[in-house]
Amino acid sequence: MIVLPLIGAIATATLGGGGGSARTAKLVALLFSLAEFVLAVVLWVVYRRDQLGAGTAGAPPFRETFSVDWIPSFGVSFSLGVDGISLVMIALIALLVPIVLGASWEERLPEGRTVGGYFALILVLQAAMTGVFAATDVFLFYVLFEVMLIPMYFLIGAFGGVRRTYAATKFFLYSLLGGLLMLASLIGLYVASGNTPARAGLGGTLDWATLRSLAGQIPESTQLWIFAGFAAAFAIKAPLVPLHTWLPDAGAEAPVGAGTLLVGVLDKVGTFGFLRICLPLLPLASSRLAWLFLLLAVLGILYGAIVAAGQTDLKRFVTYTSIAHFGFICMGVFAFTTQAISGAVLYMVNHGIATALLFLVVGMLTARGGSRLVGDYGGVWKVAPLLGGLMLVGALATIAVPGTNSFVSEFMVLIGTFTRYPAWAIVGTTGIVLAAVYMLWIFQRTMTGPVRGAAVLDIGGPEGPASGSGGLTEQPQREADDRYGHGGVAVAAPVGTARGVTTAVRRRFGDLSPREIGVLTPLVLLVLFLGVYPKPVLDVINPTAERTVVDSGHTDPAPRVPAGAAGATGAVTAAATVRVPAAAVHLEGTGQ
């Protein structure tokens, strides 16, 4: 699954000159991405078969493993494997890439850029992200963490919008800083592992399973320093406030396909890193600093929501909603309960699906209107009802309305957090109200009301209609000016005139094409299916989430027993008991 997209990228890059070769490049890239999706389905089926056959007791942490020596002198190997968390993320990548390629079929690229180069970079990015989620050697994880920055840098810098150079440079510098801090912590972890009693005379190691067994032997003070570098890198990648400022610029300037993968998958590597590295390998430091990340999570929920409500750029708006949602994910990670961590991982999947739907719909809207400004749109539902309807589905999923996929994960995160940290959960719940405010406000401004806005009417400012074949004819344009004024400001007009304008705009603006409907339909179906039946995904996630809680040195909080419940206390306590390995036990507040 890592090699196949690389082969596809090489084949695609050689075909993207133009004309027929460009179409061939698109088809080749799409075929390779569909083959990758088939492999992901096979991997899911095989993993579930092995999981059901082996059970959870004594099961290895990773399945479908592969390992060869890479740097023997340092004990580094090229080791891969999947657990429940990495499996669902790899499946998400395999799902989104063919959808992104389909959505980018008619992408307008900057002068001198080829379709083959663009699609090839997306496939390289797919290979790198798959490797990050599958790596079971910490050094390999770090290398692939850095490698995946390269294709995204070129996707933004070579194929992005007007400020693409600035956005790509900012993205790369932030990520490079995080990578350097991670490298320092990586070296510290290697040295610290070699100083443990169990590794006396054997030297350090970066094998994940070995490091997990040594976690209780590394002093808390040492763990705190190592944790700082890893956590900074993951907080930048997630991104958590105040290390988030690269995402709005990168998401806004990236082409729609690359931006979808950026906010849908790539930034999930940050929260995945907390789950894969920080909690199981540095449990004492994770517990000691949990309050800080819960604080950053709540700040992100509130800040992201408030700033999103004030955005005038549609693509920046979507990126700020993602910052708010990442606050919920981070809260679930550091709640240290199985329910919250399962909810956080499910949230990562559901956010990737819902945000991909919203980002792609916004991309299709801005491609028609030629503007990213909120004020340039209005009444779009009247001229493009299918586009407006699918944006409504994306909006409802974004605000976690019951019946959509995001509701299940958000509910699990809040309930799971409340059992251990009720105050943080209560404050975080205010983000639900704020999400409804900013999402419905944007939807109302762009989709409902009278047909208005320069991007919809193609007014082109005070000079008159925009040049080119996409403008309104002379008579409907005059009617548009009479009703709305130049720039889309609504004024009174007869009903018949408004109908004439709507008809003319509908012909020019256009609704979703069959290709666009086919691209968005799988995302809509998943939003609805996972909203009513998330069990197939949770069955994969839950065992790994429970193991992560144990590895972090915690047990799930016992349920509260009502006063006077005679005879029930013993049964409830026995049912709530979780057996954990002695080496994993952490007595909170004692440092032992």
106 confidence band (pLDDT: 50, 70, 90): confident
Amino acid at 3: V
- % pLDDT > 70, the chain: 85
Taking only the tens place, the pLDDT of each residue in 316-374 is 999 999 999 999 999 999 999 999 999 999 999 999 999 999 999 999 999 888 889 99
497 confidence band (pLDDT: 50, 70, 90): low
In whole angstroms, give the CA distance from residue 372 to residue 148.
28
530 confidence band (pLDDT: 50, 70, 90): very high
Q: Cβ-count burial of 454 within 10 angstroms (0-12 exposed, 13-18 middle, 19+ buried)? A: buried
In whole angstroms, give the CA distance from residue 478 to residue 484.
10
- Helices 149-159 and 115-134 meet at what angle, rounded to 10? 150
What count of Cα atoms within 13 Å lies in the side-chain half-sphere of residue 352? Answer: 27
Taking only the tens place, the pLDDT of each residue in 204-245 is 889 999 999 998 899 999 999 999 999 999 999 988 988 888
Amino acid at 571: A
Taking only the tens place, the pLDDT of each residue in 124-180 is 999 999 999 999 999 999 999 999 999 999 999 999 888 899 999 999 999 999 999
In whole angstroms, give the CA distance from residue 178 to residue 186.
12
**Residue matched to tokens 């539902």:** 381
Partners of 137 in the β-ladder = 207
In whole angstroms, give the CA distance from residue 329 to residue 297.
8
Q: 234 with 274: CB under 8 angstroms? A: yes
Partners of 63 in the β-ladder = 82
The shares of helix, strand and coil residues in the chain, as percent rounded to the nearest 5, are 70, 5, 25
In whole angstroms, give the CA distance from residue 115 to residue 27.
11
Taking only the tens place, the pLDDT of each residue in 418-437 is 999 999 999 999 888 888 88
**pLDDT computed for residue 535 by the predictor:** 93
In whole angstroms, give the CA distance from residue 192 to residue 206.
11
**pLDDT computed for residue 90 by the predictor:** 96
Does the pLDDT of residue 396 top 60, yes or no?
A: yes
Q: What is the CA radius of gyration of the chain?
A: 25
Does the pLDDT of residue 37 top 90, yes or no?
A: yes
Neighbouring residues of 523: CB distance < 8 A, sequence distance ≥ 6: 99, 353, 354, 356, 357, 360
The whole-number average pLDDT for the span 556-571 is 52
Q: Helix or strand or coil: residue 554?
A: coil
Tell me the residue ranges of DSSP E strands in 451-590: none
In whole angstroms, give the CA distance from residue 127 to residue 6.
6
What pTM does this model have? 0.86
Q: Cβ-count burial of 27 within 10 angstroms (0-12 exposed, 13-18 middle, 19+ buried)? A: middle
- Report residue 3 CA to chain centroid gap: 23
The whole-number average pLDDT for the span 376-399 is 91
**pLDDT computed for residue 450 by the predictor:** 87
Partners of 68 in the β-ladder = 78
**Residue matched to tokens 């740097």:** 71
Taking only the tens place, the pLDDT of each residue in 145-156 is 999 999 999 999
Does the pLDDT of residue 467 top 50, yes or no?
A: no
**pLDDT computed for residue 592 by the predictor:** 42
Residue positions counted in the chain: 592
Tell me 277's DSSP state: I
The whole-number average pLDDT for the span 90-116 is 90
Average pLDDT of the chain is: 84
In whole angstroms, give the CA distance from residue 69 to residue 581.
30
Which of 66, 61, 321, 86 lies closest to 208 in space, CA to CA? Answer: 61
Three-class DSSP labels, 37-98:
HHHHHHHHHHHHHHHHHHCCCCCCCCEEEEEEEEEHHHCEEEEEEECHHHHHHHHHHHHHHH
470 confidence band (pLDDT: 50, 70, 90): very low
- % pLDDT > 90, the chain: 59
**Residue matched to tokens 């493009």:** 384
In whole angstroms, give the CA distance from residue 459 to residue 496.
20
Neighbouring residues of 257: CB distance < 8 A, sequence distance ≥ 6: 100, 101, 103, 104, 107, 118, 122
